[in-house]
């Protein structure tokens, strides 16, 4: 059943934009892009928040680190986007490790607050550091590219295929992230992260260096956020501090993860598929009316979170789907 | 030959309270040592100092030739000390098998190998059939066995059991005593047990160490220790000791 869902889901994700594109609509491709980028960040956040059990509310810092690293390399040295992406991921992982190691002395709420504090420190740095453009940010100039391949290599799409190109780029990055995190989950790292979440002292008593593995978990999360940041920067063709260090880059993926199922590999995708279209529907249907742009979508998000927290705190994926729809015995989660 | 574990006049204070005062003891490879004493005597504090969760204010702890006085718990585990907890600390949201896999991963990076070893240890601790159950759903007796299996998975030379039998029914206690003997005989692990139940410690231990108010008051064969006037006073009061 799970395999069938995976195959059908993959086919749907690949094929659904095609009739729309032929018809001349690009709106739903952009929605799909936002769903995938949110889901991808959620899958990354699951590592520190879901498996290692450490509430990190500051991963958007590394979204920014990724965006800035790739944009700077592109603007100042002409480094191509995908290489910049690798550099951004590496920079975020290293900076995260250095910043997080001292924080791992803190636990529970104190750790969570410290991650927010680092984000608050990052904001004025982004807004005032001249080298990275300060408050004016960085602009990523478009280059002329030869065909689809050229655009894909440069991660720069324009015109009527812009939305489609970024949608498929996001799909590739999302698939890579899920594949990597599936491997992490089954590896020694996955076992050690969950051991620390369930009982840190007991984990230490069987030889797990809790501080080291918390740093590793958060650096993996940071790497995924950095990749998302690079993708976003090339989509927006710019990097502004208030844009890439925006709180929503952590709250939306975290909400998606909680709604879908915290600690479950596919939870963030389910959550993002539910949450992101809601905000898009709200902003289009409410249009220019009196409620437009007043954050009605956030009220709906809040209600969804309340309902999930009250009735199914382990998320929608933890519902007994296999028993409802599967013929075979449900596999252990 | 140097003892496996050597504690040299270890002192641990909590504010004005002396939890351990100049406690010295040695555990030889191959022994089963019982560590007993009334509530608050400092047994768990001593365990915490040996396993690196606390560090003594004064004194020295040497394990297998290495000074571990200020060493962190995970390093001490790597050197070959494993422990269980007075209040069970299973990884509740993981399955029983996964709990033991986490221990086995201390000595291998290969998941398949760790799983095989974990399965064998569940068998050894008579938890066969519980492997796929979330640890939180196990009974207390099974959780205590699971902790032992998880500790054994790290291939310890010395196993410290902190009240492995407290809260168990007499039948479960008998089974636990049998398990401790099997660990000692079949896996050749040196064992130190903290226990309240005298009927358990006395027949099980080769040697018994008694703590009272943070001070070691007796150390010797079980038969000798039960006749020691200081021990009787600690457990039963002055009136009995005078007789």
For the stretch A246-279, pLDDT in tens is 999 999 999 999 999 999 999 999 999 999 998 8
CA–CA gap between residue B101 and residue B96 (Å, rounded): 9
* B85 contact residues in A (CB cutoff 8 A): 201-202, 205
> How confident is the model at residue A294, as a pLDDT?
65
In Å, how far are A35, A323, B158, B206, B232 from B4, measured between CA atoms? Answer: 59, 54, 8, 15, 29
Residue B177 token pair: 């005593």
Query: In this structure, are residues B124 and B180 in contact, taking their beta carbons and an 8 Å threshold?
Result: no
Residues on B contacting A at a C-beta cutoff of 8 Å: 51, 53, 72-74, 77-78, 82-83, 85, 89-95, 98, 101-103, 105-106, 109, 111, 132, 147, 150-151, 153-154
DSSP helix, strand, coil percent of chain A (3-state; round to 5): 75, 0, 25
> How confident is the model at residue A333, as a pLDDT?
43
Mean pLDDT on B187-202: 89
Q: Is A194 on the interface with B (CB under 8 A)?
A: yes
Least Cα separation, residue B42 to chain A (angstroms): 19
In A188-294, alpha helices (H): 188-198, 200-205, 210-236, 241-244, 248-260, 267-285
B6 beta partners:
B26, B62
Contact B74 A197 (CB under 8 A): no
Q: Is the pLDDT of residue B39 over 80?
A: yes
Least Cα separation, residue A196 to chain B (angstroms): 9
Instruction: List all residues of chain A from 197 to 236 with a beta carbon under 8 Å from chain B.
Output: 197-199, 201-210
CA–CA gap between residue A97 and residue B116 (Å, rounded): 33
CA angle A189, A215, A184 (to 5 degrees): 25
For each of the domains in chain B, give its residue range(s) and CATH number, in order of start.
1-80+197-243 (3.40.50.300)
**In 3D, which of B122, B51, B5 has the Cα closest to residue A204?**
B51
Query: In this structure, are residues B138 and B146 in contact, taking their beta carbons and an 8 Å threshold?
Result: yes
* B111 contact residues in A (CB cutoff 8 A): 186-188, 191
CA–CA gap between residue A259 and residue A268 (Å, rounded): 8
B142 membership: H or E segment, kind and range: helix B140-152
Helix axis angle for B111-124 and B96-104, nearest 10°, is: 120
Q: Which among A191, A194, A206 has the least Cβ separation from residue B154?
A: A206
Tell me the pLDDT of chain B averaged across its residues: 93
Conformation bin of residue A207: beta by default, left when phi > 0, alpha when psi is -120 to 50: left
> Which band of pLDDT confidence, cut at 50, 70 and 90, is reported for residue B240?
low
Contact B98 A201 (CB under 8 A): no
Architecture of domain A2-325 in CATH? Orthogonal Bundle (1.10)
List, in order, residues 6 or more apart from A67 with CB less than 8 Å away.
A88, A226, A229, A230, A232, A233, A239, A244
For the stretch A202-220, pLDDT in tens is 999 999 999 999 999 999 9
CA–CA gap between residue A57 and residue A119 (Å, rounded): 8
Residue B135 token pair: 């640890």
**CA-nearest residue of chain B to A192?**
B102
Q: Is the pLDDT of residue A154 over 90?
A: no
Least Cα separation, residue B225 to chain A (angstroms): 31
Q: State the greatest distance between any 2 C-alpha atoms of chain A, in Å, as a whole number.
A: 61
**CA-nearest residue of chain A to B131?**
A332
Contact A207 B154 (CB under 8 A): yes
Q: Which among B82, B89, B132 has the least Cβ separation from residue A199?
A: B89
Query: In this structure, are residues B164 and B183 in contact, taking their beta carbons and an 8 Å threshold?
Result: no
For the stretch B92-135, pLDDT in tens is 999 999 999 999 999 999 999 999 999 999 999 999 999 999 99
**CA-nearest residue of chain A to B147?**
A202
Query: In this structure, are residues B84 and A185 in contact, taking their beta carbons and an 8 Å threshold?
Result: no
* A186 contact residues in B (CB cutoff 8 A): 111
CA atoms within 13 A on the CB side of B97: 17
Q: Which among A186, A191, A210 has the least Cβ separation from residue B102?
A: A191
> How confident is the model at residue A332, as a pLDDT?
46
**CA-nearest residue of chain B to A263?**
B93
> How confident is the model at residue B236, as a pLDDT?
72
Q: Is the pLDDT of residue B10 over 50?
A: yes
Query: Residue B191: phi, psi to the nearest 5?
Result: -130, 140
Query: How many other CB atoms are found less than 10 A from the CB of residue A117?
Result: 13
Domain boundaries in chain A? 2-325
**In 3D, which of A178, A245, A244 has the Cα closest to residue A39?**
A178
> How confident is the model at residue A3, as a pLDDT?
86
ipTM: 0.93
CA–CA gap between residue A66 and residue A63 (Å, rounded): 5
Question: Order of strands, edge to edge, in the sheet holding B81-83?
Answer: B81-83, B158-162, B190-194, B32-36, B207-212, B215-220
Mean pLDDT on B195-223: 90
Q: State the greatest distance between any 2 C-alpha atoms of chain B, in Å, as a whole number.
A: 62
Helix axis angle for A188-198 and A210-236, nearest 10°, is: 110
> Which band of pLDDT confidence, cut at 50, 70 and 90, is reported for residue A330?
very low
Contact B90 A205 (CB under 8 A): no
């Amino acid at each position: 059943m799970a395999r069938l869902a995976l195959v059908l889901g993959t086919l749907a994700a690949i094929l659904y934009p095609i009739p729309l594109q032929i018809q001349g609509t690009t709106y739903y491709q952009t929605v799909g892009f936002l769903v995938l980028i949110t889901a991808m960040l959620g899958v990354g956040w699951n590592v520190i928040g879901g498996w290692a059990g450490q509430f990190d509310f500051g991963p958007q810092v590394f979204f920014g680190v990724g965006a800035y690293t790739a944009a700077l390399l592109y603007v100042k040295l002409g480094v191509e986007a995908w290489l910049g992406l690798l550099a951004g991921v590496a920079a975020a992982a290293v900076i995260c490790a250095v910043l997080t190691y001292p924080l791992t002395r803190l636990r529970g709420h104190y750790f969570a607050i410290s991650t927010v504090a680092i984000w608050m420190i990052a904001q004025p740095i982004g807004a005032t550091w001249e080298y990275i453009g300060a408050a004016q940010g960085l602009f990523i100039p478009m280059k002329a590219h030869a065909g689809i391949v050229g655009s894909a290599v440069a991660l720069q799409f324009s015109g009527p295929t812009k939305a489609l190109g970024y949608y498929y780029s996001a799909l590739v990055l999302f698939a890579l992230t899920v594949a990597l995190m599936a491997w992490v989950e089954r590896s020694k790292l996955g076992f050690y992260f969950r051991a620390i979440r369930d009982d840190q002292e007991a984990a230490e008593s069987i030889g797990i260096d809790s501080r080291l593995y918390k740093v590793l978990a958060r650096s993996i999360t940071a790497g995924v956020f950095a990749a998302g940041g690079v993708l976003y920067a090339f989509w927006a063709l710019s990097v502004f501090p208030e844009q890439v260090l925006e709180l929503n880059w952590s709250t939306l993926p975290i909400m998606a993860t909680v709604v879908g199922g915290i600690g479950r590999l596919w939870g963030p995708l389910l959550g993002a598929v539910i949450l992101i279209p809601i905000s898009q529907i709200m902003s289009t249907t409410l249009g220019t009316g009196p409620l437009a742009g007043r954050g009605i979508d956030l009220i709906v998000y809040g209600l969804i979170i309340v309902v999930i927290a009250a009735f199914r705190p382990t998320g929608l994926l933890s519902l007994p789907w296999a028993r409802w729809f599967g013929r075979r015995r449900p596999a252990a989660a | 030959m140097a003892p496996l574990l050597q504690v040299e006049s270890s002192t641990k204070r909590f504010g004005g309270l002396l939890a351990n005062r100049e406690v010295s003891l040695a555990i030889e490879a191959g022994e089963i040592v019982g560590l007993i004493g009334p509530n608050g005597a400092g047994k768990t504090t001593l365990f915490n100092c040996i396993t690196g969760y606390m560090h003594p204010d004064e004194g020295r702890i040497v394990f297998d030739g290495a000074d571990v006085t200020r060493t962190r718990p995970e390093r001490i585990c790597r050197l070959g000390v494993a422990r269980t907890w007075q209040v069970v600390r299973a990884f509740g949201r993981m399955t029983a098998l996964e709990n033991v896999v986490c221990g086995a991963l201390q000595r291998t990076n290969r998941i398949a190998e760790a799983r095989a070893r974990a399965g064998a240890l569940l068998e050894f601790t008579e938890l066969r059939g519980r492997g796929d159950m979330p640890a939180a759903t196990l009974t207390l007796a099974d959780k205590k066995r699971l902790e032992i299996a998880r500790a054994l998975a790290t291939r310890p030379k010395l196993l410290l059991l902190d009240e492995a039998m407290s809260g168990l029914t007499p039948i479960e206690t008998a089974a636990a005593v049998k398990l401790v003997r099997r660990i000692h005989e079949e896996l050749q692990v040196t064992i130190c047990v903290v226990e309240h139940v005298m009927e358990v410690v006395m027949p099980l231990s080769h040697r018994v160490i008694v703590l009272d108010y943070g001070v070691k008051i007796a150390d010797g064969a079980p038969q000798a220790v039960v006749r020691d006037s200081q021990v009787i006073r600690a457990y039963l009061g002055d009136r009995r000791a005078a007789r």
